[in-house]
Structure 1
Amino acid sequence: MPRHSETKYRLVTTFQRRLNALVRRLPGHTLLETTGRTSGLPRRTPVGGRRVGDAFWLVSEFGERSQYVRNIKADPHVRIRLHGHWHTGTAHLLPDDDPLTRLRTLPRMNSLAVRTVGAGLLTVRVDLAD
């Protein structure tokens, strides 16, 4: 990874750790809950995306470097909190999907942030069971 991308990754993830600790507490924000690949504990990450039918779509700004993507690779069973209600589902990483095209179908402000700070974008689809 080029040095600029690595610096960007470190700055953004440091900022996000602090911000996410606050955002996770907001009742209306969308959360993705994965199972920690090492600890086995629930890990909740604020995400931006959109439900389309029985699927929830999002784009990971750092692709396979994102901790929640690593957790999904270890165990794809997840939960999504949408509008205050939890939904179970199975996450699928879609490296063949065009994440920039996908971002055009997702909420604008989140998509702008992902395009601005991201490197190595990766589409994720969660098939909702309920």
Structure 2
Amino acid sequence: MPNDGGSGSWRFRAVTALQRRIVNPVTRRLPGQILLETTGRRTGLPRRTPVGGRREGRRFWLVAEHGNRAQYIRNIHADPRVRVRLRGRWYTGTAQPLPEDDARARLRSLPFLNSAVVRAVGTELLTVRVDLDDETGS
């Protein structure tokens, strides 16, 4: 559902401000939290974002709640090489946004609590698949 600048715009600003200032700094530090590490498109520095999703074999699936407006999605477009921290271990991989995938249907196959939050606050859902390489050992 693309953002038309209407009611989704205020929701996007409110949710991203809350996430950036409160939710992400806290959840990034939780040992069991899944983290997606991208490379900042302007700075070249690692950027770690708490995400929810599910590993299926050599793939990790997630749904970005703000689609192409999410900073980590913009970073992926600039450099698709990412790392994902799953159960305390880092894996390298290549991220691929999939706009043709049915993000709402995908959410039904992902962890319930995160999916419920993404559905509630999301303004432009976008499925992302990460094709995982080997564990990095970090």
Answer yes or no: same fold by TM over 0.5: yes
How far apart are residue 119 of structure 1 and its match?
1.2
Q: What do residues 4-39 of structure 1 show as CA deviations (whole Å, max 9, x unaligned)?
A: 110000000011112101111111110000000000
In the other structure, the counterpart of 1:93 is 97
In the other structure, the counterpart of 1:53 is 57
- Unaligned runs of at least 5 residues, structure 2: none
Q: What do residues 42-81 of structure 1 show as CA deviations (whole Å, max 9, x unaligned)?
A: 0000000000010000000000000000000000000000
How far apart are residue 2 of structure 1 and its match?
3.1
Deviates more, 1:81-90 or 1:19-28: 19-28
How far apart are residue 127 of structure 1 and its match?
0.2
- Unaligned runs of at least 5 residues, structure 1: none
In the other structure, the counterpart of 2:16 is 13
Aligned length: 130
Match of 1:32 among 33, 36, 44: 36
In the other structure, the counterpart of 1:22 is 26
Moved over 2 A (4+): none
**RMSD of aligned residue pairs (Cα, Å):** 0.6
Quote the sequence identity (%).
Answer: 62
Write the distance in 2 (CA, Å) between the matches of 1:2 and 1:72: 24
In the other structure, the counterpart of 1:115 is 119
Q: What do residues 98-129 of structure 1 show as CA deviations (whole Å, max 9, x unaligned)?
A: 00000000000000000000011000000000
Indicate yes or no: 2:7 matched with 1:4.
Answer: yes
Write the distance in 2 (CA, Å) between the matches of 1:102 and 1:68: 19
AA of the residue aligned to 2:19: Q
TM-score under structure 1 length normalisation: 0.98
Write the distance in 2 (CA, Å) between the matches of 1:129 and 1:104: 25
- Determine helix, strand or coil for the equivalent of 1:87: strand
